[in-house]
Amino acid sequence: ETFDATGLHLLPGAIDAHVHFREPGYTHKEDWRTGTAAAAMGGVTTVFEMPNTDPPTGTVEALGIKQRAAAKAHVDYGLYGLLAEDNLDQLDGLVAGGVAAFKCFMGNTFGNLPSPSTGAMLEGFEIIARHGLRISLHAETASIMAWRQRKLMAAGRRDPLAHLASRPAVVATEAVSRAAILAEWTGARIHVLHISSGDELRPLREAKARGVDITGETCPHYLLFDERAYGDLGSIIRVNPPVREQHHQRALWEGLRDGTIDMIATDHAPHDPAEKVRDDIWTADCGFPGVETQMALMLTQVNAGRLSLSDYVRLSSTAPAKAFGLHPRKGAIVPGADADLALVDMARRETIRAEALHSRGRITPFEGFETVGAPVHTLVRGRFVMRDRRLVEDSVGWGLSVGRIQSMPEPQPRHVEETTAAITRTLPPARAAE
Ligand code: NCD
Ligand code: ZN
Ligand code: ZN
């Protein structure tokens, strides 16, 4: 079969390191079929899916449930295992079971998974460092947020801006700094999810300079919205961490261009409209879908001259392939080399409409955005999963776990024996005073 791609650009498919597909547990928001259909429609050929489902992906048993749900995927996927306070005995089993990376919720967000103590994080990092898999962090400090939110609620603040006030940039900055120290100590590889502020860039840069294997992502909503969105969109723009003031947005664009921020991910977080649109901000769910709109939104920025096309490919494909060890040819990072491809029409004009999304969470802050540039065909391992802007329905189940091609560099654990020895060591007998 021949195929005419005249006038289109051939890009490696996007790799989205941060999506929530909600199954098992919250399938009224999304499931693996609808989530991966949205990915295919967005030019995304591989997703990394988060563990805040019900049950959370923190035990070997729960991983099995997630793997059975993921068997319907249209695109390839990596599964995140959870690192929590109480599942340290499960981490080795999760690796053996095939997780592609780990996720640690340092602060509260959808799913209400309790944040591990710094002590449990340290031990979890030590265990995972022996395997070399990357640990992605929801880097917000729970205790600061809880304090702030109590004060705001007591003051009767229930408006959308109260959400931003409850999570000032220090919440994320403190968490990034602390996680970087634990990573440096243990040799664990880490990834900072959804960077929303300029302040987080300093500990990120400093950790990179110290040789910590740390990467970071930001998301289209932090690049395209600022605090004015709270007045326009109310609870629809509510997301963790929050969309911030304009000076943060400027710093994020700089961080993308100078390489401090390694990649763009979407934090695809669909919710049912009834759970999302509320006057009382504290009762509205956080997050919104993103996997389907990322490429069109960012190609629009390329067309506007804010980013080069090769920068976009680095941010959406090369960098996540490198960070998560996707090596279609052993040793060489060549995104798209196993024919995971997006064919894009750089001139195509579209208007984003929530009702047209393939995600079940049909509500988006990007409603009405006019985009220039869009994927028109998506191929996963040489097979069309989207063709002429239509989902290829019978590609359901074509997606595979990335375990088949994943290989992380040699683990470099540090201080592990020392810490283990300290636990088993007994004190020498006290000497009698002279
Ligand atoms: C995410 C979700 O809904 O699962 N929500 C969000 O606001 N980003 C969780 C998360 O990434 O923190
Ligand atoms: Zn998060
Ligand atoms: Zn998320």
pLDDT digits (tens, 9 = 90+) for 350-367: 999 999 999 999 999 999
Residue 332 has pLDDT above 70, yes or no: no
What is residue 334's predicted lDDT score, i.e. its pLDDT? 65
Please compute the mean of the pLDDT values over residues 290-310 and round it to a whole number: 98
Q: What is the pLDDT of residues 372-396, one digit of tens each?
A: 999 999 999 999 999 999 999 999 9
The count of C-alpha atoms lying within 13 angstroms of the C-alpha of 3, restricted to the half-sphere facing its C-beta, is 13
Q: What is the pLDDT of residue 327?
A: 76
- In this prediction, residue 430 carries a pLDDT of 75
Burial of 399 (0-12, 13-18, 19+ CB in 10 A): buried
Is residue 269 within 6 Å of ligand 1 at its C-beta?
A: yes
* Range 231-242 average pLDDT: 98
Please check whether residue 99 is in contact with residue 82, taking contact to mean a CB–CB distance below 8 angstroms: no
For ligand 1, whether the C-beta of 166 sits within 6 Å is no
Helices (H) and strands (E) in the chain, counts: 16, 13
Q: Is the CB of 138 within 6 Å of ligand 1?
A: yes
| Ligand 1 atom at shortest distance from the alpha carbon of 194 | 11
Q: According to DSSP H, which parts of 187-245 are helical?
A: 201-209, 220-224, 229-233
User: Is 80 touching ligand 1 by the criterion CB < 6 Å?
Assistant: no
Neighbours of 339 (CB within 10 A): 14
Q: Taking Cα atoms as reference points, which of 329, 325, 343, 332 lies closest to residue 409?
A: 325
Residues 388-415: what's their mean pLDDT?
Answer: 94
* pLDDT of the residue at 336: 65
Average pLDDT over residues 293-305: 99
Tens of pLDDT, residues 151-206? 999 999 999 999 999 999 999 999 999 999 999 999 999 999 999 999 999 999 99
* Six token digits for residue 131: 């395997």
Task: Give the pLDDT band (50/70/90) at residue 433.
Answer: low
pLDDT bracket for residue 338 (50, 70, 90): confident
| CB of residue 29 inside a 6 A radius of ligand 1 | no
pLDDT tier, 423 (very low <50, low <70, confident <90, very high otherwise): low
CA of 301 relative to ligand 1 center, distance in Å? 25
Q: Average pLDDT of the chain? A: 95
User: Which two tokens mark 20?
Assistant: 């929530």
State which ligand 1 atom lies nearest to the alpha carbon of 285.
Answer: 3
DSSP code string of 375-431? EEEEEETTEEEEETTEE-GGGTT---BGGGTB-PPPP---SHHHHHHHHH--PPPPP
Q: Inform me whether the pLDDT recorded for 291 exceeds 70.
A: yes
- ipTM for the whole complex: 0.99
Over pLDDT 90: what percentage of the chain?
91
| pLDDT at residue 21 tops 90 | yes
Which pLDDT belongs to residue 109?
Answer: 95
